[in-house]
């Protein structure tokens, strides 16, 4: 069983390299968040179980366009502050409320992100999960994402910031699955459990296909991102309802 | 009338060392803590401490508005302690009074020490605590509850904040006074909160007549009681992740 | 903005001095600045005083007013402490309703006096349930050079010691006529300490307040009772720091009381 630690909990008095979410006090190492202890021979770190998104370089995020400024747009990406996108860097016409994906090009000392490679997505849903649990949504070698894709028939784009864009297929089931992952992120064999849940749900209720389906160019965009991001993104290839 | 009677001959601690509500002098009232009660919030907690009932929600770190209140060096901690109108024997005016503002101020200062605020410049961390029912010791109940909510929000902190109110009634130093004891003619109330690891004091107030010797006794008792409070906070946080899966799918109801 | 820059500059100096075991104004760590007390500075007030601690300057006026007693103590009068941090006193003070700083200051001064039981509120009852005396103690900061807390508390106690009880006729106050001074059985005084770079100093000056990580105030009486604590500021104190601050407060107030 993985050990869960709380803020201020003593991790070790041994000399180890403090990793993420570990701080030193009077020569001993303590956790600064609630999370899963990762105690290795040489270093010790804590994988946070809660918390807001802290932008990191090269992350792909899903954001929502906020207010328009003279030279660009503010984008909400579920972080401490909104990020700015310059009008110079975007080809599409943005409007407040539009859903976009973007890559974090740089992060300044105030942890504000500079965004690039903007793509716009029309329609669909944003499903929110704690950013620290995003790796669980993807799983080892995108195994979890694969289960989600097959189970729901949706086109899915997972942002590192904890926002998941989904369109088509059984989005309602996807929401339930993401909620399950969120709740049980700290448990083992999660992929198997989600698989069982999907099988159960599809047995009892015939999945009601979501009326809205992504346009071809949208799916292509996701497909392209998918290749770029090595399994971060899923395009549902078995989606037969596409135009 | 009741006050007069009390002044004449109330014995707050009997010969067996028991208080009027049956507790010993260093016994804390029963505490119940539940984490994650406000799904919309980044972190939240509900706490019962004897008759006291408080709920805390944490938002942030988030954009600090108005902008001029932000600091380029650290996150600003904003703590709001409020009492519901029905939480006291009379109806409380919903407008925050001087007491609410003072408690909010000293509590936010306690959190400034506990949270690694320097990691989140230009942001605000908002902590809202509402007292739903009260019977002495609400500021400590609120602070204890809020500390768990801040941890639940995943905000990096040096330690939880744990506290207790110690005091004096009928000449005896007692831990975690109830309202009746707090109304004793010689009552002294000492709300105190520490970071349990380093035992540094982050909140300390007192009112009443107290000798230095009594303070030392009260302080010792407080530190002992705080250890118990800390354990309960810790357990509550861990419990969120021990919940049976079936129960979680059932909307959090354990059957 | 220029003042801000110079304060930041001095904060460095304060920290450096404290680390070397010194204070910028060459005081010992437990030493107060010069205290100057002037009584009865206002003819219209029922009691008043002006207190200077170093350059910090505070005036207090007391008005005895008849009012309705609180429902939970129908047979007792009451005390009401207010603080006005006048824009006169500092470039950082703004006109307007009391902010949290002045509310905290007022409440700490209030607690120090009230909890010492130096005022017999029962004596201030005029007619049970309907009429009683309320002492309005209003504190005005005139110049802020650090440690407003102690100056305000000292000025309040001196004012109360000078406060005369107005004469009553038909439950109405007779203007300008009095029936002797109000009684105070104790003289609680407040002592405030600043924690700066792991040291604790008494009576912080303004540059020291800017450099402090935390503040601790304790009100003490002449019979060595402690009547109020207040920890403020973003930092923390150890238990032994609190204990030694209490000892210094008990010692220092004995000197200050000689001046009252």
Give the integer Cα–Cα distance in Å for A226 and A217: 14
Best probe of the A interface among B115, B241, B246, B248, by most A CBs < 10 A, is B241
Q: What is the pLDDT of residues A103-123, one digit of tens each?
A: 999 988 777 888 988 888 888
Contact of A8 with chain B, judged by CB distance below 8 Å, is answered with yes
Residues constituting chain B: 255
pLDDT band at C148 (very low <50, low <70, confident <90, very high): very high
User: Regarding predicted confidence, which is higher, B122 or C204?
Assistant: C204
Q: Residue A73's closest CA among A99, A53, A36? A: A99
Angle at C75 between CA C74 and CA C81, to 5 degrees: 80
Cα angle C238, C240, C244 (rounded to 5 degrees) comes to 125
Asked if the C-beta of C227 comes within 8 angstroms of chain B's C-beta atoms, the answer is yes
Give me the pLDDT at residue A227, please.
60
- Chain B's closest residue to A47, CA to CA, is B154
Query: Average pLDDT in the B26-37 region?
Result: 95
For residue B227, is pLDDT > 70? yes
Question: Residue B39: is its pLDDT beyond 90?
Answer: no
Residue A21 pLDDT greater than 80, yes or no: yes
Contact (CB<8Å) A110/B121 = yes
Give the integer Cα–Cα distance in Å for A214 and A223.
12
Min distance C30 CA to chain B CA atoms (Å): 18
Question: What's the CA angle centered on B246, arms B245 and B252, to 5 degrees?
Answer: 85
Residues of C in contact with B188 (CB under 8 A): 115
* Amino acid A125: pLDDT: 86
The C residues from 231 to 250 touching B (CB cutoff 8 Å) are 231-239, 242-243, 246-247, 250
The closest of C32, C33, C27, C1 to C14, measured between CA atoms, is C27
Q: Listing from the earlier edge strand, what are the strands of the sheet with A17-18?
A: A4-5, A35-39, A43-48, A17-18
Q: Residue A237 — pLDDT band, cuts 50, 70, 90?
A: very low
B1 to chain A, any CB pair closer than 8 A? The answer is: no
Chain A CB contacts of B154 under 8 Å are 33-35, 48-52, 130, 132
Subunit contact A30:B157, Cβ cutoff 8 A: no
Mean pLDDT of B157-162: 98
* Alpha-carbon dihedral sign for residues A186, A188, A191, A195: negative
Confidence of residue A234 (pLDDT cuts 50, 70, 90): very low
pLDDT score of A82 more than 90: no
CB < 8 Å to B153, chain A: 50-52
Looking at the complex, report in whole angstroms how far the Cα of residue C153 sits from the nearest Cα belonging to chain B. 15
Q: What is the DSSP letter of C160?
A: H
* B62-121 residues touching C, CB cutoff 8 A: 90, 98-99, 101-102, 104-106, 109, 112-113
pLDDT at position A204, please?
Answer: 66
Instruction: Give the pairing of strands A17-18 and A43-48.
Output: parallel
3-state secondary structure of C85: strand
Q: How confident is the model at residue C88 (pLDDT cuts 50, 70, 90)?
A: confident
pLDDT at A1 over 80: no
Residue B79 has pLDDT above 70, yes or no: yes
Predicted pLDDT at A240: 33
Task: Check: CB of residue B129 under 8 Å from CB of residue B55.
Answer: yes
Maximum distance among all Cα pairs of chain A, rounded to whole angstroms: 64
Does A8 score more than 90 pLDDT? yes
Which B residues in the span 236-255 are in contact with A, Cβ-Cβ below 8 Å?
A: 237-238, 241, 245, 248-249
Residue A206 confidence class, pLDDT cut points 50, 70, 90: low
For residue A135, name the pLDDT band (cuts at 50, 70, 90). Answer: confident
CA-based nearest residue to B83, from B62, B54, B126: B54
pLDDT at B248 over 90: no
pLDDT of residue C9: 63
Which of these, A61, A19, A109, lies nearest to B120 by C-alpha position? Answer: A109
Reported as a pLDDT band with limits 50, 70 and 90, residue A66 is confident
Closest partner residue to C232 (CB to CB) among B104, B109, B199 is: B109
Averaged pLDDT score across all residues of chain C: 92
For B19-237, CATH number?
3.30.230.70
B36 touches chain A (CB under 8 A): no
Whether the CB of C221 is below 8 Å from some CB of chain B: the reply is yes
Cα maximum dimension of chain C: 65
User: Does B190 sit within 8 Å of C116, measured CB to CB?
Assistant: no
- Tell me the average pLDDT across A87-112: 86
How close, in Å, is residue A12 to chain B by CA atoms?
A: 14
CB-CB under 8 Å, B190 with C236: no
pLDDT over 60 (residue A238): no
Chains in contact with B via at least 3 Cβ–Cβ pairs below 8 Å: A, C
Average pLDDT over residues A87-108: 87
pLDDT tens for C181-225 read 999 999 999 999 999 999 999 999 999 999 999 999 999 999 999
**Does the pLDDT at position C96 exceed 90?**
no
Is residue B116 exposed (0-12), middle (13-18) or buried (19+ Cβ within 10 Å)?
middle
> Which tens digits make up the pLDDT trace of A148-181?
999 998 999 999 999 999 998 888 899 999 999 9
C138 CA: distance to closest CA in chain B (Å): 15
In this predicted structure, which of A239-243, B70-74, C113-117 has the lowest mean pLDDT?
A239-243
pLDDT band at C5 (very low <50, low <70, confident <90, very high): very low
All structural domains of chain C, each given as residue ranges with its CATH number in brackets, are 34-258 (3.30.230.70)
Mutation target for B interface from C119, C188, C192, C229: give the one with most B CBs within 10 A. Answer: C229
Per the prediction, chain B carries an average pLDDT of: 90
Q: Do A80 and B158 touch (CB under 8 A)?
A: no
Q: Average pLDDT over chain A, rounded to whole?
A: 83
pLDDT score of C187 = 96
C231 has pLDDT over 60? yes
- Mean pLDDT along residues A211-229: 65
Mean pLDDT for A70-74 is: 89
> A80–B63: do the CB atoms touch at under 8 Å?
yes
- Does residue B132 carry a pLDDT above 50? yes
Q: Can you list the domains of chain A with their CATH numbers?
A: 4-48 (2.40.50.100), 60-121 (2.40.50.140), 125-234 (3.30.1370.10)
Which H helix or E strand runs over A157? strand A155-158
Quick one: pLDDT at residue B232?
98
pLDDT category at C120 given cuts 50, 70, 90 is very high
């Amino acid at each position: 069983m993985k050990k869960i630690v709380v803020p201020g909990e003593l991790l070790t008095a041994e000399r180890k390299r403090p990793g993420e979410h570990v701080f030193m006090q009077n020569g001993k190492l303590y956790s600064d968040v609630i999370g899963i202890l990762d105690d290795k021979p040489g270093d010790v770190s804590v994988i946070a179980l809660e918390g807001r998104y802290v932008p990191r370089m090269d992350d792909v995020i899903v954001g929502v366009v906020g207010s328009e400024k003279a030279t660009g747009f503010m984008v909400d990406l579920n972080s401490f502050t909104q990020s700015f996108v310059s009008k110079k860097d975007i080809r599409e016409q943005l409007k407040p409320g539009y859903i976009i994906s973007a890559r974090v090009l740089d992060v300044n000392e105030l942890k504000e992100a500079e965004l690039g490679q903007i793509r716009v997505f029309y329609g669909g849903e944003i499903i929110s999960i704690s950013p620290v649990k995003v790796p669980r949504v993807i799983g080892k070698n995108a195994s979890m994402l694969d289960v989600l894709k097959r189970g729901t028939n949706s086109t899915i784009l997972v942002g590192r910031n904890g926002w998941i864009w989904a369109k088509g297929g059984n989005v309602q089931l996807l929401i339930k699955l993401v909620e399950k992952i969120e709740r049980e992120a700290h448990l083992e064999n999660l992929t198997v459990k989600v698989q069982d849940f999907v099988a159960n749900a599809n047995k009892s209720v015939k999945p009601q296909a979501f009326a809205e389906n992504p346009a071809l160019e949208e799916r292509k965009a996701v497909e392209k991102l998918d290749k770029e991001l090595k399994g971060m993104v899923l395009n549902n290839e078995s989606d037969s309802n596409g135009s | 009338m009741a006050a007069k009677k009390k002044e004449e001959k109330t014995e707050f601690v009997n010969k067996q060392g028991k208080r009027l509500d049956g507790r010993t002098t260093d016994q804390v009232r029963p505490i119940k803590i539940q984490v994650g009660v406000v799904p919309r919030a980044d972190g939240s907690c509900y706490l019962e401490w004897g008759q006291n009932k408080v709920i805390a929600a944490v938002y942030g770190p988030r954009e600090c508005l108005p902008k001029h209140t932000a600091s380029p060096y650290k996150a600003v901690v904003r703590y709001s302690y409020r009492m519901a109108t029905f939480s006291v024997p009379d109806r409380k005016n919903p407008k925050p009074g001087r007491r609410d503002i003072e408690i909010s101020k000293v509590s936010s200062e306690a959190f400034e020490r506990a949270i690694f605020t320097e990691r989140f410049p230009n942001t605000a961390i908002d902590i809202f605590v509402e007292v739903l029912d009260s019977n002495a010791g609400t500021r400590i109940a609120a602070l204890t509850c809020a500390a768990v909510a801040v941890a639940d929000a995943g905000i990096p902190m040096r330690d939880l904040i744990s506290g207790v109110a110690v005091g004096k009634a009928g000449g005896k130093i007692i831990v975690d006074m109830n309202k009746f004891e707090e109304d004793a003619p010689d009552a002294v109330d000492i709300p105190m909160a520490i970071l349990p690891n380093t035992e540094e004091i982050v909140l300390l107030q007192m009112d009443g007549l107290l000798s230095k010797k009594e303070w030392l006794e009260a302080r010792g008792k407080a530190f002992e009681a705080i250890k118990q409070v800390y354990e309960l906070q810790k357990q509550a946080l861990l419990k969120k992740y021990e919940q049976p899966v079936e129960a979680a799918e059932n909307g959090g109801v354990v059957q | 903005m220029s003042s801000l820059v110079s304060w930041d500059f001095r904060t460095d100096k304060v920290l450096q001095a404290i680390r070397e075991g010194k204070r910028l104004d060459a005081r010992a760590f437990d030493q107060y600045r010069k205290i100057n007390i002037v009584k009865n500075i206002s003819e219209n007030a029922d009691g008043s005083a002006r207190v200077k601690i170093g350059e910090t300057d505070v005036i207090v006026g007391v008005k005895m007013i008849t009012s309705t007693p609180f429902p939970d103590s129908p047979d007792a009068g009451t005390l009401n402490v207010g603080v006005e941090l006048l824009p006169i006193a500092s470039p950082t003070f703004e006109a307007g309703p009391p902010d949290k700083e002045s509310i905290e200051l007022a409440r700490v001064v209030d607690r120090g006096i009230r909890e010492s039981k130096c005022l017999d509120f029962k004596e201030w009852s005029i007619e049970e349930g309907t009429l009683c005396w309320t002492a309005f103690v209003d504190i005005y900061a005139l110049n802020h050079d650090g440690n407003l807390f102690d100056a305000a508390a000292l000025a309040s106690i001196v004012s109360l010691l000078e406060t005369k009880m107005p004469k009553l006729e038909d439950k109405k106050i007779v203007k300008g006529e009095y029936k002797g001074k109000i009684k105070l059985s104790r003289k609680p005084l407040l002592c405030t300490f600043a924690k700066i770079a792991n040291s604790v100093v008494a009576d912080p000056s303004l540059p020291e307040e800017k450099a402090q990580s935390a503040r601790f105030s304790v009100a003490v009486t002449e019979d060595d009772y402690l009547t109020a604590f207040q920890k403020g500021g973003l930092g923390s104190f150890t238990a032994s720091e609190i204990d030694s601050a209490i000892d210094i407060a008990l010692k220092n107030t004995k000197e200050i009381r000689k001046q009252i």
